[in-house]
Amino acid sequence: MSIKAFELVPAIERFQLMSERALTKIVCIESCGKNIYIGTDDCFVVHYLMEEQTNQQTGKMTFTSQKIGHKYLGVKKPVLELKSASALNRLMILCDSTLSMMNMMDLEPVVGGAKIRAVTSFCVNAQPLNNSPFSVEICVALKRKSLQVYLITEDRIQLMKDISTSSPPISMALTGEHLCFATSDLYSIINIQTSQTQELFTFDESLKPTVTNISRGEFLLSAPSALGMFAMANGMSQRPPLRWSDNLLSVAYYHPYVLALNDEFVTIHSVLDQQQKQSLPFKGGCHLGHFDGRLFVASGRDVYALVPVPVQKQLQNLLSLQRVHEALDLARSALKTGALPTAAFQRIQLQVGFIEFAAQNFEEARQLFLSASLDVRELISLYPNMLPPTCPFTRQIPPLHDMADIVQVAQKDHSKICIFQEFLLEYLKEIDASSKNIPHKQEVHSALLKLYAELNPAALPAFIQSDRLCHSPDCIEHLKKHGCHHAIALLHCVHGDNTHALKIWTQIVDGELQDDSFPGFNFIVDFITKLKNETVVWENIDWLLEQDESMAVQVLISNQSSKSADKFHVDGLLERLSGYPIAMKSYLEFLVLEKELPVERFHTHLSVLYLDDVLQLMNSPTPNAAQIESARKKLQHLLQMSNLYRVQLILGKVKQTELYTECAILYAKLEEHDKALRLLVHKVKDYKTAEMYCLVNSSADDLALRGRLFHLLLSLYLDSNHERHESLVGPAIDLLNRNRHYFNTAKVLEMIPDNWSVGLLSHFLTSSIRQHLHQSRTVHLHRMLSRTHHLQLKSDNIRLDSAYITLKDDVLCSVCGRDFTDPSFARYPNGVIAHISCITSKHVCPVTGKLFGTAPTSSPSNQHSPSGDSR
Amino acid sequence: DLKVVIMGAASVGKTTIIHRYIEKRFQETISTIGASFSLKQWGPYNIALWDTAGEERFSGLSSFYCRGAGAAILAYDLTSDDSFHALRARFKGLLEAAEDDCLVVVVGTKLDMVTEENRAVPPQDAKALARELNTQQLTELPYFETSSLSGHNVDRLFEYIFQHCLPVNESGQAIAEPKNRKRSGTVDL
Ligand SMILES: Nc1nc2c(ncn2[C@@H]2O[C@H](COP(=O)(O)OP(=O)(O)OP(=O)(O)O)[C@@H](O)[C@H]2O)c(=O)[nH]1
Ligand SMILES: [Mg+2]
């Protein structure tokens, strides 16, 4: 767990006071700015000035020192503690249980300066409560069980607080109002403003208690079993204890490290994870201290500086040892204190990220990359062939990691490589989803495309179709390599190159290319159908026809635009279809039945095709009645519905067959009803159809024709020349009964053979008479009503004509506002009067625009209101 | 936020049970020196779990780490009579430093090792202790027998404590004003 956080650099070597022989030893040191003060065991205070130099090349720091002066205090007792107060130009000295002050520069005692006696130890408030820069707060431990807090100014020592303790205090630290102190068996914290005391914990007398101030309100205490306990001003602990060495002599804090001195080592511990980080052998140490941002440690004869290794260097050391958690902890804390700029911190995160990445701790890596906003290209560049060759990217210098690529990291193990690829895929997906405008979009998208091609080709279509930037030749090359031809085609068509795309698809269908992800022939059909591009259809129609005629026709049909309906175009198309009977038929069906194009050729062609179908079915060795029936229905429907085909041509063909129904339809077209009905009655023997025939072949408006047809049919039924005429009596009666209103009763009676009984006809006759009676009454009623109406109109007319209008001089034309000079004028029913020349319509009032009746005979002046009830 | 402290004689399995809860696995441990500390997220709250050292020489420190605790686990080894008596003798007193309404949970450990013959403490004695150490009204008697080896009752134990002190609903949101809302042991790195 070791790391180099500090270096020992000699500051004052072979400290000598008078001569070689004098065995003077250092007891304590103090430093302030460039001044170093040494307190000796033989009652001297020695003053040095020290310069520090940094070697430009190695970055190593060296110190040169120069003795300025010394002072003998004259009591032959060791100088136990020294503290400077630079603003006051004072040095505080504890020697012979007396706290006194001297001038910092010439080491002369302060004239008339007060002294505090019976002092065992003292400390300076690290965060004084008094804001004046020209005062210092100190706390002294007295031999008699008490602590005293003083405010010291240049020439005065003023007692502020006296605190009595249960037993003599031994060690203490003061920060702000919090004073933490130890007696021989107990640590306590007291608030010097409120005197509120909090006992921390007890220990046995074998321990030498030390109290070190860590930060405002937090102290570090030595505890049994070589523990360093953290304690907050509220009496609680925020961190687990440190483990340091026994026989602790001195402790200093330099964020985030605690330095502990014993007689053999300086050990360095991190408060972040409470672990020991470094141990420097140091024999005979007596005092270690943190003075204004600098650390010095003294042995009996030498003073060394503890120079912190720059955070960056520590971090790189940790990283090179793969101690990522420590590195991150340290970097975070350095970021907080400002020792590490944000950019450098992010770089550390990235370095850690890549270490985690190499170790396949992908979740950690992901978070670090995201939080330090990694340039994705750094990551992509680790994967061979993932960056487009045109991408000008080069990796950061100095490098963030020492990996060549993932193949090297995975040691060519294919399954491992896959795991790395999966990570990249997930990471890029997340990046891609995070926002619309991600940096290096092109690189991200083409890498995603390539990864999908390798890991999950099924996801490619959706990916490609969502408009990604990955249409580079190298992407296509990559797809080709992985057999993703369908994806290539999609890419082409996303970029508008449909011809290219279709070429690939047709090759897949034809088996020239292999790609299982291609959905199949129907995909092409759908594609072309949706495309609605004439040229594309024409380019591919032959291929489509080869594949599937009816599908091909569907494509053609769905591509029918107004232009393609033009005759020339259709002819060309039909010519192309000539080799494909199914396609031809479907297309003609479309033209004739759906589009209802009035072109004789199409209708005739289709009829012939239908007829051929029927004949083929009928002539097959195993005729299928249902099939024949449906084929005939189609033919019949067409023949019946269309009026455009060449009837004679079809008739010629049909006549040679037994398709009597069809034949009848054709005769009907030629208005040869007699022949048609004869076929129906005698050949087909379908009397219902015959009856229908009469209705179908005459319009409801042309009752005369309809009547004629019915009579014709009746006469066929009654034809006594026919050998079967007996059997036709029933149909004849049915016909009469069902359609009596189309028959002329008188004529029917003439036609009926005399031998028929009245009973047979009674139904027909009674209803005929009833109908005629009804007709005659209705007509009568009509006549009378019309007469009433006529009289009414006449009366209205007379009333209107007999009224008169006087036109005076002051009456002006409502349109032009001028006088009337002519005797003729126009008057509207609403009273508006105007020149004849001024009005535009007799029926529209020129002023109000009101519309009056539009009967062509009525003039504006004798408009009559809508006729009232004429009854 | 909540501070939870676990105390008990040496080697009863304090470190192991915390490790079991946090890491969800059983791991051999070394005897704890001083104390150690884990953070656990509980809905919107942070929970500081303080593991103390059971050896006698650390007793003074344990009371220090007990300060401000909203809940304390007193752990003993179900197969060791001494470890149970130590709870009354040594650890009961340390609870003085905890919050006044500190929830005290008595936990017997190493249930997996217990057989008919070697069970050293009758459950009713332990339950009596649990009843005696808690003054507040409780729905469930704060007594659990656990095994860090199998994980038996470990999650239940901690969730019981957290839910009692800092009630949260199923989606992890705070339900009501927590009972022990003293700030405690958050680490400022
Ligand atoms: N079988 C079994 N062994 C356990 C269980 N809990 C702890 N142990 C074992 O008991 C021993 C002591 O466990 P620790 O967790 O270190 O005990 P501790 O209470 O933390 O001890 P100190 O830190 O010295 O106070 C270890 O060897 C553990 O493996 C348990 O539930 N079942
Ligand atoms: Mg332990």
Q: In whole angstroms, what is the distance from residue A10 CA to residue A827 CA? A: 130
pLDDT number for residue A281: 93
Tell me how close the Cα of A231 comes to any Cα of chain B, in angstroms. Answer: 9
Distance CA A155, CA A728 (A): 152
Q: Amino acid identity of B70?
A: G
B61: Cα separation from own chain's centroid:
17
Provide the pLDDT for residue A854. 60
At CA B40, angle to CA B39 and CA B46, rounded to 5? Answer: 85
Amino acid at A756: W
Residue A227 with chain B: CB contacts under 8 Å: 33-34, 61
A663, A689 contact by CB (below 8 A): no
Distance in Å from the first CA to the final CA of chain A: 122
pLDDT band at A683 (very low <50, low <70, confident <90, very high): confident
The predicted pLDDT at position B183 comes to 44
**A237 has a chain B CB within 8 A of its CB:** yes
Q: How far is the C-alpha of A381 from the C-alpha of A407, rounded, in Å?
A: 12
Mutate to test the pocket of ligand 1, among B25, B29, B79, B119 (most ligand atoms within 8 A of CB): B29
Phi, psi (rounded to 5 degrees) for A91: -120, 125
Nearest to A384 by CA among A409, A354, A357: A409
Evaluate if residue A687 carries a pLDDT over 90.
Answer: no
What per-residue confidence (pLDDT) applies to A20? 53
**A542 close to A549: Cβ distance less than 8 angstroms:** no
Q: Stretch B113-122: mean pLDDT, rounded?
A: 91
**Are B64 and A224 inside 8 Å of each other by CB?**
no
Please identify, in words, the CATH class of the domain defined by A6-309. mainly beta
Query: pLDDT value at position B162?
Result: 93
pLDDT score, position B91: 92
Nearest CA in chain B to A215: B188
Please give the angle made by the CA atoms of A382, A383 and A387, to the nearest 5 degrees: 95
Per-residue pLDDT at A118 exceeds 60: yes
* DSSP code for A172: E
Instruction: Give the pLDDT confidence score for residue A247 in this predicted structure.
Output: 87
Q: Which residues pair with A53 in a beta bridge?
A: A62
Three-state DSSP class for B103? strand
The per-residue pLDDT for range A435-486, each reduced to its tens digit, is 888 888 888 988 998 899 888 888 888 888 887 777 778 888 888 888 888 8
Q: Tens of pLDDT along B50-98?
A: 999 999 888 888 889 999 899 999 999 999 999 999 999 999 988 988 8
Distances (CA, A) of A287 to A14, A76, A178, A212, A248: 16, 20, 24, 13, 10
Protein residue closest via CA to atom 32 of ligand 1: B110
- Short-list B46, B60, B186, CA closest to A238: B186
Distances (CA, A) of A784 to A456, A798, A858, A866: 91, 22, 25, 20
Q: In 3D, which of B103, B166, B97, B169 has the Cα closest to residue B134?
A: B103
- Nearest CA to A463 out of A511, A498, A428, A497 is that of A428
Which range of A316-330, A594-608, B12-26 scores highest in mean pLDDT? It is: B12-26
**Interface membership of A240 toward B (CB under 8 Å):** yes
Q: How far is the CA of B68 from the centre of ligand 1 (A)?
A: 26
Q: Whose CA is nearest to atom 23 of ligand 1?
A: B32
Q: Does A735 touch chain B (CB under 8 A)?
A: no
pLDDT of residue A19: 53
Taking 70 as the threshold, does the pLDDT of residue B188 lie above it? no
- Sequence-distant (6+) residues with CB within 8 A of A732 are A714, A717, A718
- Nearest residue (by CA) to ligand 1, atom 7, is B13
**Given this model, what pLDDT does residue A17 score?**
61
CATH topology of domain B2-165: Rossmann fold (3.40.50)
Distance CA B40, CA B2 (A): 10
Q: How many angstroms separate the CA atoms of A463 and A486, rounded?
A: 13
8 A C-beta contact, residue A3 and residue A279 = no
Q: Are A541 and A547 in contact (CB under 8 A)?
A: no
Does the pLDDT at position B128 exceed 90? yes
Neighboring chain B residues of A241 at a CB cutoff of 8 Å: 33-35, 61
CA nearest to A335 within chain B: B189
Cβ-nearest to A236 among B34, B58, B68: B68
Where does residue A483 fall: left (phi above 0), alpha (psi -120 to 50 degrees), or beta otherwise?
A: left
Asked if A236 reaches chain B (Cβ–Cβ under 8 Å), the answer is yes
Q: Are A60 and A47 in contact (CB under 8 A)?
A: no
Decide if A242 contacts A270 (C-beta within 8 A). Answer: no
What residue in A sits closest to B61 (Cα-Cα)?
A201
* CA-wise closest residue to A252 among A340, A173, A170, A147: A173
Torsion of CA A540, A546, A549, A554, to 10 degrees: -20
| Whole-number Å distance between alpha carbons of A557 and A579 | 18
The pLDDT value given to residue A500: 86
Supply the residue whose CA is at minimum distance from atom 2 of ligand 1: B110
Tell me the CATH number for domain A803-864: 3.30.40
Distance CA A281, CA A265 (A): 4
Helix (H) or strand (E) holding A662: helix A660-669
Q: Which ligand 1 atom is the nearest neighbour of the CA of B27?
A: 29
Distance in angstroms (rounded) separating the CA atoms of residues A81 and A92: 8
CA B177 – CA A40 distance, rounded (Å): 61
Residues of B with CB under 8 A from a CB of A: 3, 33-37, 57-58, 60-61, 63-65, 67-68, 184-189
Q: Residues enclosing ligand 1, CB less than 6 A?
A: B 8, 10-16, 28-29, 31-32, 53-55, 109-110, 112-113, 147-149
Q: How far apart, in whole angstroms, are the C-alpha atoms of residue B106 and residue B127?
A: 8
Partners of A103 in the β-ladder: A90
pLDDT at residue B176, as a whole number = 65
Among B61, B183, B188, pick the best mutation site for testing chain A contact (most A Cβ within 10 A).
B61
Above 60 in pLDDT, residue A21?
no
Residue of B nearest to A239 (CA): B187
**What mean pLDDT comes out for the span A573-597?**
79
Per-residue burial over A482-498, b = 16 or more CB atoms within 10 Å of its CB, e = otherwise: bbbbbbbbbbbbbeeeb
Structure letter (DSSP) for residue A718: H
Are A50 and A34 spatial neighbours (Cβ–Cβ below 8 Å)? Answer: yes
Chain B positions touching A332 (Cβ under 8 A) are 189
Identify the pLDDT of residue A860.
Answer: 45
DSSP count for chain B of H helices, then E strands: 6, 6
A231 touching chain B per CB within 8 A: yes
- Whether residue A222 is predicted with pLDDT greater than 90 in this model: the reply is yes
Contact A158, A182 (CB under 8 A): no
Atom of ligand 1 nearest to the CA of B30: 16
| Overall average pLDDT of the A198-215 stretch | 90
| Residue-wise burial string across B35-67, b where 16 or more C-beta atoms lie within 10 A, e elsewhere | bbbbebebbebbbbbbbbbbeeebbbbbbbbbb
Q: Which of A610, A719, A591 is nearest to A657 (CA)?
A: A610
Taking residues A362-373, what's their average pLDDT? 93
Nearby residues of A750 by Cβ (< 8 Å), 6 or more positions away: none
Q: What is the pLDDT of residues A719-737, one digit of tens each?
A: 767 766 677 777 888 888 7
Contact A285, A250 (CB under 8 A): yes
Is-contact A4 A320, C-beta < 8 A?
A: no
Residues 6+ apart with CB under 8 A from B155: B21
The alpha carbon torsion through A403, A408, A414, A416 (nearest 10 deg) reads -40
Residue A818 to residue A820: CA distance in whole angstroms: 7
Instruction: Tell me the ligand closest to B144's alpha carbon.
Output: 1
Interchain contact, A234 vs B68, CB within 8 Å: yes
If one residue of B11, B37, B74 were mutated to test the ligand 1 pocket, choosing by the most ligand atoms within 8 A of its CB, it would be B11
Residue of B41 and A720 predicted with greater confidence = B41
CB distance from A239 to chain B under 8 Å? yes
- A499-539 pLDDT, tens per residue? 888 888 888 888 888 888 888 888 888 888 887 777 777 78
pLDDT tops 50 at residue B182: no
Residue B113 CA, closest ligand 1 atom number: 1
Crossing angle of the two packed helices B154-165 and B14-23, in degrees rounded to 10 = 80
Query: CB–CB of B184 and A201 under 8 A?
Result: no
Q: What is the pLDDT of residues A145-195, one digit of tens each?
A: 999 999 998 778 889 999 999 999 999 999 999 999 999 999 999 999 999
Cα B112 to ligand 2 centroid, rounded to whole Å: 19
Q: How confident is the model at residue A565, as a pLDDT? A: 54
Task: Determine contact, residues A185/A143, Cβ cutoff 8 Å.
Answer: no
Per domain, the residue ranges of chain A are 6-309, 688-787, 803-864
Q: What is the mean pLDDT of chain B?
A: 88
Taking the centre of ligand 2 as the mean of its atom positions, its distance from the CA of residue A180, in whole angstroms, is 29
- Give the closest of A203, A227, A238 to B187, CB-based: A238
How close A317 gets to chain B, by Cα (Å)?
A: 21
For residue A868, pLDDT beyond 70: no
What percentage of chain A reaches a pLDDT higher than 70? 95
- In this prediction, residue A561 carries a pLDDT of 58
A283 sits in which H/E element: none
pTM (predicted TM-score): 0.66
Q: Which atom of ligand 1 is nearest to the CA of B147?
A: 31
Nearest residue CA, atom 12 of ligand 1? B11
| pLDDT for the residue numbered A725 | 67
Q: Could you give the CA distance from residue A102 to residue A92 in angstroms, rounded to a whole number?
A: 7
Instruction: Tell me which of A201, A230, A234 to substitute to probe the interface with B (most B C-beta atoms closer than 10 Å).
Output: A201
Query: Chain B residue closest to A331 (CA)?
Result: B189
Q: Which of B35, B184, B188 sits opposite A241 (nearest CB)?
A: B35
Q: In this predicted structure, what is the pLDDT of residue B189?
A: 43
Q: How much of chain A, in percent, has pLDDT values that exceed 90?
A: 30
- Of A348, A354, A341, A343, the closest CA to residue A316 belongs to A348
pLDDT of A366 reads 94
Contact (Cβ atoms closer than 8 angstroms) between residue A7 and residue A309 = yes
Cβ atoms A684, A699 nearer than 8 A: no
Mean pLDDT of chain A: 85
Mutate to test the pocket of ligand 1, among B5, B12, B16, B77 (most ligand atoms within 8 A of CB): B16
Which residues lie across from A281 on neighbouring strands? A265
Q: How would DSSP label each residue in A35-79? A: EEEEEETTSEEEEEEEEEEE-TTT--EEEEEEEEEEEE-SS-S-E
What whole-number distance in Å separates Cα of residue A370 and Cα of residue B103? 42
* Rounded distance from Cα A13 to ligand 1 centre (Å): 52
Lookup result for tokens 């004689």? B9
In chain B, residues with a C-beta closer than 8 Å to the C-beta of A200 are 64
Which residue among A200, A224, A229 sits closest to B57, beta carbon to beta carbon? A224
More confident residue, A857 or A547: A547
Amino acid at the residue B104: V
Give the contacts of B140 (CB within 8 A, at least 6 positions apart): B160
What pLDDT, on the 0 to 100 scale, is given for residue A296? 95
What is the per-residue pLDDT for A288?
94
Chain B residue at shortest CA distance from A185: B60
